[in-house]
Amino acid sequence: MPAEAEHAYVHPAAAAHDRHITRNVAVDEGAATLDERTLPIERQVTTEMERARRRTHTRTLSLPAVKRLAFAAGVLLLLSARPVSAHPVPFSYLDLRLQSGTLDCVFVVHIFDAAHDLQVTPVERLLDPAVAAEHSRALITLLRSRLEVAADGRALAIDWSGPEVLADRQSLRMSAHVRLDGAPGTLTVHAAMFPYDPSHQTFLNVYEGETLTQAILDHGKPSFEYFAGTRQGALAVIRKFVPAGIHHILIGPDHLLFLFGLLLLGGTLSQLALVVSGFTVAHSITLSLAALNILAPSPRIIEPAIALSVVYVGADNLLVRDGRDMRVWIAFAFGFIHGFGFASVLREMDLPARALGWSLFSFNVGVEIGQLLVVVAVASALGALRARSETAGRQLAVAGSVVVVAAGAFWFVQRVFFPGGLS
């Protein structure tokens, strides 16, 4: 049994739950926190009582003052008797300890949630070991249907023990020991524990050696993927983030059009390689800075700036003169901005903290592979056209540049004036 399971899990983000506890009227030593709508009344009543208290130090209260004091005391008594929430802790806790070939699991659930779904009243009955044992099978069935742990994509058959009563925490604890087929690269946890309470959260601890990884699962985010700190874990990161990088560059029309604009004027293989390399170096720098939260400008700035980069590269193509080729510097300068755009997607993928380097490297490799596919396809097509007709090649460069400018201008207007989209 992990020693860490003996105490309640305190997550760094737990302060964010204060708002939830306020909304649900938390109970402290049997005293109810008043609903916000009653606070003005309470202040008025308290003020009246304080005035009356001060008057007692100077003179005997008049009959109207006595009446006001009695009224104030009555109102406070009624307010303090308001019904309170009986659910002070809408959380559950899951500890997973990954070791060589085994996985130890500990799940702790508050008796309020368990009693609600098992239809046990009053809820305190579950603190009786005999009653908890009586509902053991039903509780295990509920847990199996709502909590799934998978290793490398294969769901694990977890044989949970009967509930152990934790009276001081008003909770029940169940544990399990699972044998694994070798060291997994990933553990995926999906928890949708108590649908009746949309604010319910499951605090997750994953232990591997001396490393602790934490997450919060709730109605909006019921799943979490953990990458092991092993060779298998690194391979799993690569398998996930390389395709993600390729996918992002291929579905990003602004990135694709920027690359297309850079290639329209053609050039030798070494020229095009320098252009793409400049773009790669620049966006790799800002991608890493943003993903590490060192520098992360607002998307409200970055997205219009990306659109302007598309306009600029198209306009430069139209204004270019013989002997002046600034595409390497354009690619490098605007590559910094595009890197921030790539990072916004990467951050949404929940970068694994212990495999951050591998995930950044893998995503960037995927982006480069996607770019290479685009460059090879576009450059080959344009080269074949110019080989057949130089005039047709120049006309396509002009027409394509006009399209690039128009598309970039449209995106800029949309992202600045209609960030929510055109309806």
DSSP string, 251-275: H-HHHHHHHHHHHTT---HHHHHHH
Pick the last residue of a domain from 213, 228, 243: 228
Is the distance from CB of 397 to CB of 307 less than 8 angstroms?
Answer: no
Is the distance from CB of 198 to CB of 135 less than 8 angstroms?
Answer: no
Residue 340 lies in a domain: yes
Same domain for 203 and 266?
no
Same domain for 245 and 378?
yes
Helix (H, G, I), strand (E, B) or coil at 8: coil
Q: What pLDDT, on a 0 to 100 scale, did the predictor assign at position 41?
A: 35
DSSP state of 25: T
| Overall pTM surpassing 0.85 (yes/no) | no
Q: What pLDDT, on a 0 to 100 scale, did the predictor assign at position 322?
A: 64
Same domain for 281 and 350?
yes
Measured CA to CA, the distance from residue 249 to residue 62 in angstroms comes to 81
28 φ/ψ angles, rounded to the nearest 5 degrees: -130, 110
Same domain for 218 and 353?
no
Q: Which ranges of the chain have pLDDT less than 70?
A: 1-89, 321-323, 421-423
Is the distance from CB of 316 to CB of 262 less than 8 angstroms?
Answer: no
Residue 147 lies in a domain: yes
> How many domains would you assign to the chain?
3
Q: What pLDDT, on a 0 to 100 scale, did the predictor assign at position 142?
A: 94
Measured CA to CA, the distance from residue 405 to residue 398 in angstroms comes to 11
Residue 170 lies in a domain: yes
Rg, C-alpha atoms of the chain: 31
DSSP state of 406: H
Pick the last residue of a domain from 204, 228, 252: 228
Say whether the peptide bond before residue 64 is cis (omega within 30 degrees of 0): no
393-397: long-range contacts (C-beta < 8 A, 24 or more apart)?
393/266, 396/264, 397/264, 397/265, 397/266, 397/317
| Domain extent for 30 | 13-80
Residue 6 lies in a domain: no
Q: What pLDDT, on a 0 to 100 scale, did the predictor assign at position 285?
A: 94
Task: Please spell the DSSP secondary structure of 233-244, one letter per residue.
Answer: HHHHHHHHHHHH
Q: What pLDDT, on a 0 to 100 scale, did the predictor assign at position 286?
A: 93
Burial class (CB in 10 A: 0-12, 13-18, 19+), 19: exposed
Residue 3 lies in a domain: no
Same domain for 183 and 66?
no
For 126, the token pair is: 């579950």
Measured CA to CA, the distance from residue 302 to residue 367 in angstroms comes to 18
Pick the last residue of a domain from 181, 200, 228: 228
Same domain for 259 and 395?
yes
Residue 171, strand partner residues: 110, 166
Same domain for 37 and 176?
no
CA nearest to 69, candidates 94, 81, 52: 52
Q: What pLDDT, on a 0 to 100 scale, did the predictor assign at position 403?
A: 95
Helix (H, G, I), strand (E, B) or coil at 375: helix
Q: What pLDDT, on a 0 to 100 scale, did the predictor assign at position 422?
A: 57
Residue 8 lies in a domain: no
For 334, the token pair is: 């605007």
Q: What pLDDT, on a 0 to 100 scale, did the predictor assign at position 115?
A: 93
Same domain for 117 and 170?
yes
Q: What pLDDT, on a 0 to 100 scale, did the predictor assign at position 21?
A: 35
Q: What pLDDT, on a 0 to 100 scale, did the predictor assign at position 292?
A: 83
Exposure b/e, 205-239, CB count within 10 A at least 16 = b: bbbbeeeebebbbbeeeeebbbbbbeebbbebbbe
Measured CA to CA, the distance from residue 322 to residue 138 in angstroms comes to 80
